[in-house]
Structure 1
């Protein structure tokens, strides 16, 4: 097992390949500028911002997955507003959980009766901090 997000397990085996590419994490801080008459503004550090993570999941029916089903799993989670931990290896990422900020589907090869043989889903996650004051 590579890791998981909620009930979605990233894995590679001789039976099934469901993994991600282009994993990118961004972090930022929050600042406020206070105007000062006759001088430059004074900057004040407010704290860390919410991290974001983006990645792509390439789906191929020849790798033991059902691309359309997997794409719709991400879409359903996003539409329900589900939050979940993100774990890669044995490490939890972030301070709490993550929410799906956006899902983008790309259908590749379509077979008879609309079966999707291959495709890709692009995911953007944003940190979800449930408790006030958690760092």
Structure 2
């Protein structure tokens, strides 16, 4: 690899390894300049991290279940009958803090409004749609952590639950290449 001869140290190893680390390096440089590359989105809420603003989530959990009917039998254990798959569910927690460039009250209101509207929207992570179908915000729980001396919320946490929204004709809502 003659083109690597003028490059030394860790970058030579990174380039030799197929340039696998450079996108992360660029993401870090963008963040240090106050710019951000989106992590993902839920409808019009964009998850991002930069030196000026942090809007992200933690404890992401995705659950898939099956539906069963239970048939009671006299003198024996009940029998289960598989009916089909249930809708998937995603839960995560968002910490909203004024010190991270976010207005906690306004952000919590945005997510609550999505819940109350019943709007189905796509959940995107790393430029890939999660699942085949859009998601609806089923519930939002809020825990206010810090309030300042003027009664303004400084930090709050919201627990968000999404449910898979399968349209009446399932083929109409499918997305190719979903995670």
Same fold (TM over 0.5): yes
| Gaps in structure 1 of 5+ consecutive residues | none
Mapping of residues 1-135 of structure 1, within 5 Å: 1-33=38-70, 43-134=80-171
Shift of 1:10: 0.6
Shift of 1:44: 4.0
Higher strand share: 1
1:5-60 alpha-carbon deviations (Å, 9 max, x no partner) = 00001110111101101101110112335578998766543322100010000011
Aligned length: 135
Higher helix share: 2
Higher CA-based Rg:
2
| Gaps in structure 2 of 5+ consecutive residues | 1-37, 175-179
Distance 1:61 1:41 in 2: 54
Distance 1:60 1:5 in 2: 19
Distance 2:170 2:137 in 1: 22
The Cα RMSD (Å) is 2.2
Q: Output the TM-score relative to the length of structure 1.
A: 0.87
**Does 1 or 2 have the higher relative contact order (CA < 8 Å, sep 6+)?**
1
1:60-114 alpha-carbon deviations (Å, 9 max, x no partner) = 1011110011011111111111111001112211221111111011111112433
Q: Output the TM-score relative to the length of structure 2.
A: 0.67
Shift of 1:128: 0.4
Distance 1:101 1:73 in 2: 14
